[in-house]
Amino acid sequence: MLGLETEANVQSEVMRRSLALSWLASVLVAAPLIGQSEASVYLAHGDLTRELSALVDGSDIATMRSLGRSHEGREIWLVEIGRRSGPALETRPGLLV
């Protein structure tokens, strides 16, 4: 078991990374682009997939998997952020962005 100081540092780092990934995901998905029309507010599916993959590939606490496909045949991505040690991810609080 980690010491309290180390455990607090790990939890703080996980929270910091989680918030950063959540913020970046929300910016990538829905932020308006300056000088662009409203039609280009959202990333194309392929661009979003590449951005999410890049985030997950550079992380030791994030994983990405497909939940299925939309009615148009596009993958619906789930990004999970959390250390694999400790309680099962399914039992921890979640955040939907």
Do the Cβ atoms of 66 and 75 come closer than 8 Å?
yes
What pTM value is reported for the model?
Answer: 0.54
Query: Which tokens is 34 given?
Result: 């300056």
Tens digit of pLDDT for each residue in 20-48?
Answer: 666 666 655 555 555 555 555 678 899 88
User: Exposure of 28 by Cβ count < 10 A (0-12 exposed, 13-18 middle, 19+ buried)?
Assistant: middle
- Secondary structure class of 2 (helix, strand, coil): coil
Nearest-angstrom CA–CA distance, 94 and 97: 10
Nearest-angstrom CA–CA distance, 33 and 41: 6
Checking if the pLDDT of 79 tops 80, the result is yes
pLDDT above 70 covers a percentage of the chain that reads: 69
